[in-house]
Structure 1
Amino acid sequence: WEKYLEVCHAQAAPERLFRLVSNAFEVGWLLEAIDPINQSLFCSMSVVCVRGHRIRLQYIGYKDCYDIWVNSDSPFIFPCGFCKRTGRQLLPPKEHDPKSFDWNNYVESNPNFSIAPEEVFASMPTSLSNLTKFEIKDKLEAIDRQNSELICVATVIDMLGDVVLIHFDGWDSEYDYWTHATSALIHPVGWCEENGRLLSPPQGYVGENFNWEQHLNETGFRAAPTQCFDCVPHEFVTGMKLEAVDPRNQSLVRVASVSEVEEHRIKIHFDGWDSIYDEWFDVDSSDLHPVNWCQKTGHPLEPQLTVKDRDQNKGGCPTPGCNGVGHVKSSKFQHNHRKHHSEYGCPYAPKNLGKAVLYDRLAHRAPRKY
């Protein structure tokens, strides 16, 4: 990295923008985790792979095509029994009754699994308390992560430590998302009007002009006080180098650069790759890491793509830079155990870039691209 930074005349993103803890998880351990697609859901999961500071989780009872990767210090993974302890509903393993499911009984019936010890979770005991100034049902204005041009009427519906769960009024829970209380994604009531931005009213709202005072009176809830919002500006600048998870193949971490900067997100360019593969990340994304993160945590790092790499036809795939790992028809490509040999199945083929990255095991609708 030191030599590469010198050649590129670039600076590394400061390590203080990231956090680093050890990974004590083991394959076969059981835990509870938030579904990254349906973020209002807490699910039963097992550890199926440990790679450096990252772990791959499988929804118990579901195919491995739905597996997800998370960091071992994720605030969205919890010890078994967390939901019961905090009064939340847990989605048990497939084919199990939510009312009668018990983790201890499950382990007795499945001796290949064991319950992950509570001390390995960085989220504990922080997640047991509300460390923000928000209250449940507080109203605010929030940016739609799937369409950052939209700012919508929203409500705080849950809290874990210093993160809050945002729900867009009138919309399905599939659009809910967790974010830090200091995030630039959320704003107090009236922010859009003060800043000349268009506020999207609740889905199904009847009327020409949305009125916050009327909405608050009708719902009976308060506007989140301005002191709840303490947005901390990020320090990313264009040209900074870092290591980033490849959204098209999430088992891989690549050498990358910051190519564009906005208030709440940054665009990441994977060095040596065409700009069509650039991706927007929230500034607090757990998929962004400092220079040398992979080396320090024992995770493989994919180096910058060279002209020679683009010209070589590795793995039989004709897409420049692709080594044949992964397949666009299945999210198994995230786990490096399915390959392809043509543009048809290549997750990097231009014609496949608009297709989904994460697959929703619960939905009959077409999967969404994140």
Structure 2
Amino acid sequence: MLLEVCHRNNPDVYWIAEITMVCGHVLRIKFIGAESDFWCDISNTKVHPLGWCGKYDELIEPPDAINEKYGDKIIDIMKNALMDGQSVSIEALNNKGLSPIDRIKVGMKVEVQNLIDPYRYWIATVCENVGGRLLVRYDGCDEDLQQLWIFFSNPRLSSFGYVTNKGSPWQFKYPGKVNKFSCKNKLSAQLRQSAEEAIKEPTPPDLFVPNQSLEAHNFVTGMKLEALCPQDMRTVRPATVSKVFNNFHFLVALDDHADDYEDANAAWLCDSMHPYIYPIGWAQRHGLAFKSPKAWKEGPFDWDEYLSATSSVPAPDYCFGTKQPLKGIEVNMKLEAVNPQNHEEIHVARVDCVAEHMVCVELLPLGEKYWFAQRSDLLLPAGWCDANNYALHIPDVSAAKQQPVEEVKLIKDDIKNSEEWCDRIYFNYKCYAGPSISRNKLSQLPKHVGPGPLTLVLKEVLNKIISASYKPAKLLKDWETEGPPEEGMRLEMLRAKLKSSTYHAYVPIATRRAQVPAFCRAACVRLQACPALFGTHHYSRPRAACPHACHQVDKATFHNGTERRGRPKGSVNGKKKKKKGAHEKRDKEQPSQEREKEPGECSPRPVRAVRKRASPDSDTETSSTSRDKRISDVSDAEEPELKKLRGARDAPRPFERDLALELKLSRNPLDWSVDDVYAYLSSTDDCKPVAERMKREEIDGEAFVMLDLPVIRDFLHMKKEFALQLSKHIAIVRWYTHNFEQNCGS
């Protein structure tokens, strides 16, 4: 993506740059025509979307080095870049690169529009944010109102304060069957309480913006039409325009519930492009199930006769707008869909048929079919639940057992003759799990996986074992195989999740049913666990049935000596090391103080990690002990079982001015290269292990001083305690940068 960035040495002149990497509010960008890129903090640098300079008459020209290299050719280079590239949105720059989904926080207040009245709203609190799908709870509600699942882009949502800013006729009205806030005093008290709670987690006013592109409708009260039943989402029924609110909104109610549509959930709040209302005869033309009203006599339904009997007129076709037919969706495609009868459930689904802008979806575990609009927020792409760590209802492959006896026998015969079929794989969670697997997570896994296709069953088993490990990414890396697999094996891609990141690796799995027991046993041995931890046999009473008697033998029997046993690094083992005397520490540290000098050093003293001066509130021995730790390749986010971090603090301690004066540098850190940053960190006691990683990320001096604790934690995936130590060095170097001339002069 492209944006306009001010010159590094002249902030009043701009040039077009391309984004090569995003780390929160810190971007890696490259000027068009330049060969090298650099880091840019958009929170304190002049950056704008394309076209901003032309709009505000600002000077835009290439830097001198690019101008000298290309001359007049730079214009053609710029045109090609603009044709191929896309501008960054102003919202992304204003929000420091965060998407709307990432900006929504639990505890934020929103205002939810009523289902049947565009002017009635009520305040709700965000309880969960699952990939933009929000679980909200109405403020002040008891058991009369359930929590509501709604997608963040749904037009019913508005930011807190929307109704107050709009004024009459917009109003707050409790959506329950009994308006418990009909008294003005109670309503004022509830609104005041919600406003006080909103201060704790304020909602950005631009986060939920109502739909501003509505077209004026031509519907009139009393017009007849067809509408999808909101109660079942399966049948189309006769309906009537019962109320017109304004030029954009009107209410359509099913004829069977003309008097009780609010209680029966039998009405749609519509605009001219609403997807669930149709002209008369539409259902018959497209093969949708049509249900006659209760007042209709027996026999086939006839619209002309019904209109005559009710003295009504049909809504003209032009009132319904032009809806685009489906593109790219075909029958038998797979997706994930929300159950319209229970929005907490998301199911594996299959496209059953298509009609213009509507799609009929079958929820496979239930076998139920429902109609949805193409752009419905109840339809999700395949893999959405997995990517957002939400429970997905999957079809039971063992349902074939419920077929008639003859069919079952034929199916079983086919299975027995197939090498591609796998029986159940059981998790024997009472067996010894080894040093890498969390027993707590293991016990939460299902009792078995399968039966089913061999590849799918084995992949699911390995994925569940990875999810139950302390370090999923590390375990996946250990299982990864480079090069061709062994004979009888096949490479399959497995995934390990870490926060919002997903790691992929190709792992060899068995290809024949006869190999499954040996494959499972070998995988357990590699985990240094009991060989019967998972496999084709179920040991319901492991103390009596486990063939390896893992509850009796020494656990060292299963260890291969390649990994450290016991709890993962960083966990608390209950024992505290005895502190050494200060004189013993000094004697021990003396030989290690002779090391190479930092590249920008101007003092003969070696650069060491800055320590707090001795004071009643500081302990030099304790701070030096915490620096003896090393940063692991896998972050603590991959060790969710660890409840504490030894020596971890929530924020770095404020350093004093005289601490940074111990650092003597001959060059301004802003001029450091990637190698200079690497050399500086390598010369410290506590951040030496992270030096190589910073070099791989191409962190130079300017980027180094831009880093902060959230960026280090979220994008470099460091443990909290080591991120704090690195943040301390960054703060010191940043202070030194601002006072460079004074420090060098002294």
Same fold per TM (> 0.5)?
Answer: yes
Deviations 1:24-78 (A, max 9, x none): 3332332322466x78874432212222212111022224781111111111212
- Which of 110, 130, 133 is the aligned partner of 1:51? 130
Deviations 1:242-291 (A, max 9, x none): 3434668755656x342412423322445xxxx43555251342121235
Note the 1:1-370 alignment, pairs <5 A.
Answer: 22-23=100-101, 24-34=103-113, 42-63=121-142, 66-79=146-159, 80-82=161-163, 85=167, 87-88=169-170, 90-92=172-174, 95-97=180-182, 106-107=191-192, 111-114=196-199, 116-126=203-213, 130-135=214-219, 137=221, 138-145=223-230, 146=232, 148-155=234-241, 157=243, 165-169=251-255, 171=257, 172-173=260-261, 174-178=265-269, 181-182=272-273, 185-189=276-280, 200-201=292-293, 210-213=305-308, 215-216=310-311, 223-229=314-320, 230-235=322-327, 236-245=329-338, 250=343, 256-263=348-355, 264-269=358-363, 275-276=365-366, 278-283=368-373, 284-291=375-382, 299-300=388-389, 315=444
The amino acid that maps onto 1:154 is T
Contact 1:139 1:156 in 2 (8 A): no
Quick one: distance in 2 between partners of 1:32 and 1:158? 23
Quick one: distance in 1 between partners of 2:158 and 2:146? 19
Contact 1:182 1:231 in 2 (8 A): yes
Contact 2:228 2:277 in 1 (8 A): yes
Quick one: distance in 2 between partners of 1:249 and 1:199? 23
Aligned-pair distance for 1:120?
Answer: 1.0
Contact 2:239 2:252 in 1 (8 A): no
Contact 2:163 2:171 in 1 (8 A): no
The amino acid that maps onto 2:330 is V
Q: Secondary structure at the match of 1:111?
A: helix
Q: Give the number of equivalent residue pairs.
A: 286
Contact 1:155 1:168 in 2 (8 A): no
Contact 2:236 2:283 in 1 (8 A): no
Quick one: distance in 1 between partners of 2:273 and 2:207? 26
Quick one: distance in 1 between partners of 2:123 and 2:140? 9
Quick one: distance in 1 between partners of 2:389 and 2:218? 40
Relative CO higher for 1 or 2, CA cutoff 8 Å, sep ≥ 6? 1
Q: Secondary structure at the match of 1:200?
A: coil
Closer, same or farther: CA 150–102 of 1 in aligned 2, 3 Å:
same
Greater gyration radius? 2
Quick one: distance in 2 between partners of 1:161 and 1:294? 39
TM-score calculated relative to the size of structure 2: 0.32
Closer, same or farther: CA 278–32 of 1 in aligned 2, 3 Å:
same
Quick one: distance in 2 between partners of 1:184 and 1:140? 13
Closer, same or farther: CA 215–290 of 1 in aligned 2, 3 Å:
same
Aligned-pair distance for 1:152?
Answer: 1.1
Closer, same or farther: CA 159–299 of 1 in aligned 2, 3 Å:
farther
Closer, same or farther: CA 249–199 of 1 in aligned 2, 3 Å:
closer
Determine what percentage of the aligned residue pairs are the same residue.
19
Closer, same or farther: CA 268–109 of 1 in aligned 2, 3 Å:
closer
Quick one: distance in 1 between partners of 2:196 and 2:297? 56
Contact 2:233 2:371 in 1 (8 A): no
Aligned-pair distance for 1:107?
Answer: 3.4
TM-score calculated relative to the size of structure 1: 0.57
Aligned to 1:331: none
Quick one: distance in 2 between partners of 1:139 and 1:125? 27
Closer, same or farther: CA 99–319 of 1 in aligned 2, 3 Å:
farther
Contact 1:245 1:287 in 2 (8 A): yes
Q: Which has the higher strand share?
A: 1
Query: Alignment RMSD, CA only?
Result: 4.8
Contact 2:362 2:368 in 1 (8 A): yes
Deviations 1:141-171 (A, max 9, x none): 2232426344213226357998764212351
Q: Secondary structure at the match of 1:242?
A: strand
Quick one: distance in 1 between partners of 2:210 and 2:121? 14
Deviations 1:1-32 (A, max 9, x none): xxxxxxxxxxxxxxxxxxxx732333233232
Quick one: distance in 2 between partners of 1:246 and 1:258? 13
Quick one: distance in 2 between partners of 1:59 and 1:232? 35
Contact 1:245 1:251 in 2 (8 A): yes
Closer, same or farther: CA 86–223 of 1 in aligned 2, 3 Å:
farther
Quick one: distance in 2 between partners of 1:120 and 1:159? 26
Closer, same or farther: CA 60–155 of 1 in aligned 2, 3 Å:
same
Contact 2:385 2:391 in 1 (8 A): no
Contact 1:26 1:47 in 2 (8 A): yes
Quick one: distance in 1 between partners of 2:229 and 2:209? 28
Quick one: distance in 1 between partners of 2:290 and 2:339? 33
The amino acid that maps onto 1:135 is F
Quick one: distance in 1 between partners of 2:363 and 2:227? 27
Q: Which runs of 5+ in 1 are unaligned?
A: 1-20, 324-370
Q: Secondary structure at the match of 2:310?
A: helix
Quick one: distance in 1 between partners of 2:126 and 2:152? 11
The amino acid that maps onto 1:265 is V
